């Protein structure tokens, strides 16, 4: 089972690794094995313990499928992207009681993390509603969980910037220093990887003009104040896409969007989102 937008192989790797942390080698859940008869079946519900946006229901379903060897049924009551309230039932799972409880923590860790990212992202998307700006994520993700966290950003109304170092070239300050200039760095990347998209970080209007003159069509305007961004938009906005980045907050999001930039990138979507509290409640027998 796979969630649309998440590679099945990556999903299986994550679930296998997460369950392995919990079950050890050889794999076992000593409490459930001791207290629950092997043939007992039951039904449990995933329940929101706080208001937010849900993401990762089918990721949780994959965990229950693995622990039950495919025998558990997973009934979605909500869908990824739904705004949910405290007390809402998100899904019902029926299967061997042992496998339900063995899956519980791993499933909750993943869906709570993903829903937290989606909830945080939705707050940014709401702030930018009515403007042309979109909120972007970054590579500041939890090691091993990037595909899930970036999926959650999309569910929350944001956009993925790049998946890694391999799919987009991003010329930052250290690259400029190493190459000697923005122009030199841009030309070197274009020569080495002519088919790869190139983004250039700039910190001043002059750097923005230099990058565009070199051929850049996507600029990261790092730690610029709104008044500086207005100047950059006026000078090169018709020639390139512009992203505001660095020290952005929900309180200042609207002001930055009003400058006319295309994107606001926020590392905090993935590195600082609190989880959405979700619980697994086993129905009484």
* pLDDT, tens digit, 9 for 90 and up, residues 27-37: 999 999 999 99
DSSP result, 157-215: T-B---SSTTTEEEE-HHHHHHHSSHHHHHHHHHHH-TTSEEEEEESSHHHHHHHHHHT
Active site members: 105, 140, 172, 201, 222
Calculate what percentage of the chain has a pLDDT beyond 90: 96
**Model pLDDT, residue 211:** 98
**Model pLDDT, residue 194:** 96
Please tell me the number of Cα atoms within 13 Å of 210 on its side-chain side: 16
**Model pLDDT, residue 23:** 97
- Decide if pLDDT at 1 tops 50: no
* pLDDT, tens digit, 9 for 90 and up, residues 67-112: 999 999 999 999 999 999 999 999 999 999 999 999 999 999 999 9
* pLDDT, tens digit, 9 for 90 and up, residues 179-208: 999 999 999 999 999 999 999 999 999 999
- Decide if pLDDT at 3 tops 90: no
- Local structure of 4: helix, strand or coil: coil
Model confidence, pTM: 0.94
* pLDDT, tens digit, 9 for 90 and up, residues 263-280: 999 999 999 999 999 999
Confidence label for 4 from pLDDT (cuts 50, 70 and 90)? low
- Decide if pLDDT at 285 tops 90: no
Beta strands 89-96 and 278-282: pairing type? Answer: unpaired
Please tell me the number of Cα atoms within 13 Å of 193 on its side-chain side: 13
Confidence label for 2 from pLDDT (cuts 50, 70 and 90)? very low
Top-confidence residue, 101 or 284? 101
Calculate what percentage of the chain has a pLDDT beyond 70: 99
- Answer whether the bond into residue 26 is a cis peptide, omega within 30°: yes
**Model pLDDT, residue 220:** 97
pLDDT, mean over the chain: 96
Residue pair 213/183 in contact (Cβ under 8 Å)? The answer is yes
* pLDDT, tens digit, 9 for 90 and up, residues 217-244: 999 999 999 999 999 999 999 999 999 9
Residues with Cβ within 8 Å of 131's Cβ and at least 6 positions away in sequence, in order, are 254, 257, 258
Ordered by where they begin, the domains of the chain are: 8-118+274-282 (3.90.1170.20), 126-271 (3.20.20.70)
Residues with Cβ within 8 Å of 127's Cβ and at least 6 positions away in sequence, in order, are 250, 253, 254, 257
Q: What average pLDDT does this structure show over 143-150?
A: 96
Which phi-psi region, left, alpha or beta, contains residue 70 (left: φ > 0; alpha: ψ -120 to 50)? Answer: left
Distance CA 142, CA 25 (A): 24
Confidence label for 284 from pLDDT (cuts 50, 70 and 90)? confident
Residue pair 205/231 in contact (Cβ under 8 Å)? The answer is yes
**Model pLDDT, residue 24:** 96
């Amino acid at each position: 089972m796979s969630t649309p937008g998440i590679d099945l192989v990556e999903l299986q790797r994550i679930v296998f690794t997460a369950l392995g942390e919990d079950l050890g080698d050889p794999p076992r859940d000593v409490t459930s094995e001791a207290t629950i008869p092997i043939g007992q079946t039951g039904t449990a519900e995933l329940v929101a313990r706080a208001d937010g946006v849900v993401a990762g229901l089918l990721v949780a379903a994959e965990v229950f499928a693995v622990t039950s060897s495919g025998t558990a049924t997973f009934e979605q009551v909500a869908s990824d992207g739904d705004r949910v309230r405290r007390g809402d039932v998100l899904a019902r799972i029926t299967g061997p009681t042992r496998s339900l409880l063995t899956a519980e923590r791993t499933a909750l860790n993943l869906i709570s993390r993903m829903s937290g990212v989606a909830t945080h992202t939705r707050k940014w998307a709401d702030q930018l509603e009515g403007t042309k700006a979109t909120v972007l994520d970054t590579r500041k993700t939890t090691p091993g969980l990037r595909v899930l966290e970036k999926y959650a950003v999309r569910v929350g109304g944001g956009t993925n910037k790049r998946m890694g170092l391999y799919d987009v070239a991003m010329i930052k300050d250290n690259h400029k220093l190493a190459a000697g200039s923005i122009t030199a760095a841009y030309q070197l990347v274009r020569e080495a990887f002519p088919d790869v998209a190139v983004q250039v970080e700039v910190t001043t209007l002059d750097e923005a003009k230099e990058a565009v003159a070199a051929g850049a069509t996507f600029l990261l305007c790092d730690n610029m104040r709104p008044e500086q961004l207005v100047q950059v938009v006026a000078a090169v906005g018709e020639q390139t896409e512009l992203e505001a980045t660095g020290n952005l907050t929900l309180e200042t999001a609207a002001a930055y969007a009003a400058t006319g930039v295309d994107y606001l990138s926020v590392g905090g979507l993935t590195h600082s989102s609190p989880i959405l509290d979700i619980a697994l409640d086993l129905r009484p027998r």
